[in-house]
Amino acid sequence: MKDVYFSYFMFSLLGGVIVAYVARALLHGRARHARTDADGGSVFVNKASMELGYWLLRPVVDLFSSLRITPNMVTGFSLVPAFGAGVAVAFGWFGLACVLATAGSLCDLVDGVLARKLGTASDAGEVVDAAVDRYVESFFLGGLIVYYRSHWMMLVLTLAAFFGSFMVSYTTAKAEAMRVDPPRGLMRRAERAIYLLVGSGLTGLSKAIFADSPSHALRELPIIVAVTTVAVVTNISSVQRLSAIARALRARRPMDAAPPPEHGDGLITKSDTPARLV
């Protein structure tokens, strides 16, 4: 089977979902969701797209709930299609990689919504989910690194996207560890996934359309644009987020950073020294 067929399938499915959601919105209004209302979307993924995504997941979550499928089962299973996507993209099967990576990303969304529906959300579950997310993302980007191992410019861009993606996630984890509200920033996990998935799916089409073209860049332009966007925006966002965290920490002025009180001659006696430093 030709790789382009997988791209045809994905974009036909996407078109059908969009048409169904538009019809639903016209008849019953937008499918509002608490998380989309709180998040509000961003420059890279707007609120309407997020509402469509959660609307699409609702029947899947209801089905899994009725079948007594746990969030941890969904989280663990997401590694399977994600690994397959990494292997597919490493061999240049971008259409197939799009199908498999989409399945993995949907599992990533479903497990959180399912956990909240079942009332089983926990800090331990969030730790597992975050760890699996890093693996899922690294499989796809790792596959791209293997694929572009002989094209040094794309290899550098893909490595930049890889490190930038992890730094965005790291800044969120660091902010939470330091008890600072995580800066919003750009190109978060869902946004990165969408850009890479769309770029991969379109590349399956462009490779078929421009199969006879001698230009490698023309044949794979969509994934090149997607990787470049992720590489540039994630690294800029990481610097901005780290700067925001540093400012928030400096603004705290913790009491234990204040100089100890002076006694008479300005010398500190042993009794003035905290017991933990003695």
> CB burial class (10 A; 0-12, 13-18, 19+) of residue 44?
middle
Between 261 and 272, residue with greater pLDDT: 261
Average pLDDT for the chain: 83
3-state secondary structure of 58: helix
pLDDT surpasses 70 at 69: yes
Give the integer Cα–Cα distance in Å for 5 and 7: 5
Residue-level pLDDT at 37: 61
Tell me the sheet residues that pair with 267. Answer: 263
How confident is the model over 240-263, as a mean pLDDT? 71
Kindly list the structural domains of the chain, giving each domain's residue range(s) and its CATH number in brackets, ordered by start.
3-249 (1.20.120.1760)
Instruction: List strand residue ranges (DSSP E) for 124-264, in order.
Output: none
Identity of the residue numbered 206: S
Give the integer Cα–Cα distance in Å for 109 and 115: 10
Reported as a pLDDT band with limits 50, 70 and 90, residue 5 is very high
Locate 138 and state its tokens: 């690294």
How confident is the model over 63-85, as a mean pLDDT? 90
The rounded Cα 90 to chain-centroid distance in angstroms is 20
pLDDT surpasses 90 at 90: yes
pLDDT surpasses 50 at 213: yes
How confident is the model over 52-68, as a mean pLDDT? 84
Reported as a pLDDT band with limits 50, 70 and 90, residue 274 is very low
CB atoms within 10 A of CB 274: 8
